């Protein structure tokens, strides 16, 4: 908040009449001229750095990595899905099963922040470099807000990213399970979710559970698993009150059940990266160039919307590089095929990614 009006004026020894007048604000007609002058002074401000998260800024898929740490036998449920699949329902099922087995909110958050220690050093330097030069850095990901925010916080990078565009997620309080006798009557061994007051209403909808999942029947813990927590009360002692539990629930960025399809066959139903990038660019008129860093099949759609002045940095050996090459070959034979018009460069390591961002930021 500016408090200059309430501060006492300093005596300068110069009369007010001789003070230079403040520069006039740019009129609306010359807004483009003002923007051009700002870009001349700092050309980096005209660049929008857009980065995918999983396997781009980090070397892992956050959901799979979390499963590897807390419930390894569930990892295959996520790794078996292929784009353009909607990961949200299955991820919610996995997170619900983790909570049922006793994985607490604190343990999940702690694990995510530890994962932040694995962010490559070159990525840390790249984000620091872009922030120092006034570039607007955006994460555009089909992950979720809780995973990304805690991983970036663990890496101490959260203040360097201007926006995170992803599926919203929040922790919901889970009601204690009913007594054993009642659970046996209704056949449900888990408590229902109760939304905490601080959770937005949009996050209160229960996640959809895909066919074949639910009720914990698919997830049978071995007797030696450390994730299944069950305690028995001592003889003659009343059972202790159950601890409050929380379940992480992910909401789709685009809810096709409420809003209908976004109409993009290249993207999953919950998020069209191309539409998100177009909206982002419209809201940032000073952004003359987009540098897009990605690796996956769902990064093709936003790349197709870029122009010749933009740059795509595709990870070598991943789906985005392959799909761009396929489009280019098909367009050579059939001009009607839509291809990526932006300049495309391939990176093999995060050190190379950092160098390419520096090279093409202006």
DSSP string, 75-126: HHHHHT--TT---HHHHHHHHHHHHHTT--HHHHHHHHHHHGGGS-HHHHHH
Torsional class of 247: left (φ above 0), alpha (ψ -120 to 50), beta (otherwise): beta
Task: Locate 170 and state its tokens.
Answer: 């929040």
Distance CA 350, CA 126 (A): 9
* C-alpha 227 chain-centroid distance: 27
What's the sign of the alpha-carbon dihedral 35, 40, 44, 49? positive
Cβ–Cβ contacts within 10 Å for residue 348, how many? 10
Specify binding-site residues: 52, 54, 295
Catalytic residue among 32, 54, 142, 255: 54
CB-based contacts of 320, cutoff 8 Å, min separation 6: 294, 295, 296, 297, 299, 300, 303, 312, 314
Distance CA 104, CA 106 (A): 5
> CB count, 10 Å around CB of 126?
26
Residue that the structure tokens 């391939």 belong to: 346
Supply the DSSP string of 213-236, one letter for each residue.
--TTTT----TT-SS-----PPTT
52 annotated active-site: yes
List residues forming the annotated binding site for Mg(2+): 52, 54, 295
Owner of token pair 């995060």:
350
Residues 32, 52, 188, 334: which is the catalytic one? 52
Burial label for 151, CB within 10 Å (0-12, 13-18, 19+), is buried
Known catalytic membership, residue 59: no
- Residues designated as active site: 52, 54
């Amino acid at each position: 908040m500016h408090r200059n009006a309430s501060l006492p004026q300093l005596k300068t020894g110069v009369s007010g009449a001789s003070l230079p007048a403040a520069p006039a604000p740019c009129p609306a007609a010359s807004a483009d001229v003002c923007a051009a002058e700002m870009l001349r002074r700092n050309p980096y401000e005209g660049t929008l750095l857009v980065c995918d998260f999983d396997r781009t800024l980090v070397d892992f898929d956050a959901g799979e990595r979390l499963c590897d740490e807390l419930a390894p036998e569930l990892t295959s449920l996520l790794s078996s899905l292929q784009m353009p699949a909607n990961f949200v329902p299955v991820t919610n099922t996995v997170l619900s099963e983790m909570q049922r087995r006793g994985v607490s909110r604190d343990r999940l958050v702690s694990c995510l922040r530890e994962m932040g220690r694995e962010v490559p050093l070159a990525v840390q330097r790249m984000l620091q470099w872009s922030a120092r030069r006034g570039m607007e850095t955006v994460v555009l990901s089909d992950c979720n807000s809780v995973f990304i925010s805690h991983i970036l916080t663990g890496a101490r990078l959260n203040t360097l990213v201007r926006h995170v565009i992803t599926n919203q997620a929040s922790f919901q309080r889970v009601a204690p399970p009913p007594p054993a006798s009642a659970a046996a009557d209704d056949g449900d061994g888990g408590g229902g979710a109760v939304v905490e007051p601080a959770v937005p209403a949009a996050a209160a909808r229960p996640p959809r559970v895909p066919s074949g999942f639910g009720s914990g029947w698919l997830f049978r813990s071995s007797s030696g698993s450390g994730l299944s927590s069950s305690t028995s009360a001592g003889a003659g002692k009343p059972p202790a009150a159950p601890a409050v539990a929380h379940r992480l629930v992910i909401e789709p960025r685009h809810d096709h059940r409420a809003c209908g399809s976004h109409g993009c066959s290249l993207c999953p139903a919950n998020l069209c990266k191309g539409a998100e990038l177009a909206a982002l660019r419209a809201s940032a008129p000073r952004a003359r160039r987009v540098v897009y860093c990605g690796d996956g099949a769902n990064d093709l759609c936003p790349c197709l919307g870029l122009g010749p002045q933009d740059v795509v940095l595709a990870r070598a050996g991943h789906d985005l590089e392959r799909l761009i090459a396929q489009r280019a070959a098909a367009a050579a034979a059939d001009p009607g095929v839509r291809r990526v018009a932006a300049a495309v460069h391939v990176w093999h390591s995060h050190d190379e990614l950092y160098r390419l961002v520096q090279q093409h930021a202006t």
